[in-house]
Amino acid sequence: MLRALPVSPAVILLALFLAGPIGYCAYIAFTDLQLTGQAESSFVGLDNFREAFGDERFLNAVWLTLVFTFLSSIVGQNTLGLALATLMQRASKPVRTLTGAIVVTAWVLPEVVAGFLLYAFFRREGTLNAVLDFLHLPSQNWLFTLPILAVSFANVWRGTAFSMLVYSAALNEIPKEITEAAEVDGAGGWRRMWHITLPMIRRSIGTNLMLNTLQTLSVFGLIWVMTRGGPGNDSQTLPLFMYEQAFQKSMIGYGTAVALLLLLVGSLFSVVYMRLLRTEV
């Protein structure tokens, strides 16, 4: 018993500030708690959830979250990260160091700063349009016409370093002999990638996809800074929808119901992630 004593500060903190809110979340999601003008909240059962699934704006947020997660995490960060890691294996040292440094800097930057940089990049009078003008390509107001694409790209910009580091580590662990043997047998680059590299790093791919997805699911600051979820609701993913319902519309109960759904999806991914890592514990 005494031996477990040192764990107690951590357990107390976790219980009070993490498990507590999660439990509280599960409770107020079933009430009609509001921010103002209400003395008591009452239990409303599944009303919040029923309302959510009948609410066009909620469904819109779900759809945008799916698009955002798919584009930026599964396609963007994951693929680009793998591509960069693969290219780096063969690149010269200066190129490798330089690219690595730039990509990692984008990752280490505070969320809000990254948001501003990409906001400046995508604005009508921003850099992207300047480049497009220079190439004689049509420019447009990206944050207005394709906001979800712009924030997805921003998330790729910010998050790719993580995948790159994971995959670089994984690729370094593949024994040289195996790739060399395949080369001798006449397998080209793509075939080696498909038949040897990918199967050998498939566990890294799994865990990386899981972590990317979980990260992306909870992105708030980046989108908030760039578009505030707008124009209209065109880039309003679930975290922003939750925030709007709970604070701008003062419906904490409803906002929390949305939060609980987000948490459930997150837990689901988390469980899959644990299964992928299960031999480690």
Which 19-38 positions form the footprint of another protein (CB under 8 A)? Answer: 20-22, 24-25, 28, 33
Give the 3-state secondary structure of 133-172.
HHCCCCCCCHHHHCHHHHHHHHHHHHHHHHHHHHHHHHHH
Which of 46, 75, 98, 181 forms a contact with another protein (CB under 8 A)?
98
Distance CA(235)–CA(180), nearest Å, equals 47
Q: Nearer to another protein by C-beta: 66 or 112? A: 112
Q: Nearer to another protein by C-beta: 68 or 162? A: 162
Q: Nearer to another protein by C-beta: 59 or 130? A: 130
Give residues with Cβ within 8 angstroms of 194, minimum separation 6: none
Q: Does 277 bind another protein (CB under 8 A)?
A: yes
The tokens describing 6, both together, are: 């040192």
Q: Does 206 bind another protein (CB under 8 A)?
A: yes
Range 241-260, binding another protein (CB under 8 A)? 242-243, 246-247, 252, 255-256, 259-260
Range 43-82, binding another protein (CB under 8 A)? 80
Which of 75, 95, 181, 198 forms a contact with another protein (CB under 8 A)?
95
Q: Angle CA(192)–CA(76)–CA(208) in degrees, nearest 5?
A: 70
Distance CA(155)–CA(222), nearest Å, equals 8
Which helix H or strand E contains 95, and what residues bound it?
A: helix 93-108
Task: Fill in the DSSP letter of residue 109.
Answer: S
Q: Does 224 bind another protein (CB under 8 A)?
A: yes
Contact 77, 156 (CB under 8 A): yes
Range 122-151, binding another protein (CB under 8 A)? 123, 125-127, 130-131
Applying CB under 8 A, the span of 45-53, 55-63, 174-182, 236-244 interacting with another protein comes to: 236-244
Which of 44, 61, 84, 143 forms a contact with another protein (CB under 8 A)?
84
Which of 42, 105, 145, 248 forms a contact with another protein (CB under 8 A)?
105
Distance CA(76)–CA(99), nearest Å, equals 17
Contact 160, 103 (CB under 8 A): yes
Contact 253, 43 (CB under 8 A): no
Which of 57, 149, 196, 269 forms a contact with another protein (CB under 8 A)?
269
Q: Nearer to another protein by C-beta: 74 or 104? A: 104
Contact 42, 31 (CB under 8 A): yes
Q: Nearer to another protein by C-beta: 113 or 181? A: 113
Q: Does 280 bind another protein (CB under 8 A)?
A: yes
Question: Minimum CB separation from another protein for residue 45, in Å?
Answer: 18
Q: Kindly report the number of other CB atoms within 10 A of residue 48's CB atom.
A: 25
Which of 52, 170, 171, 226 forms a contact with another protein (CB under 8 A)?
170
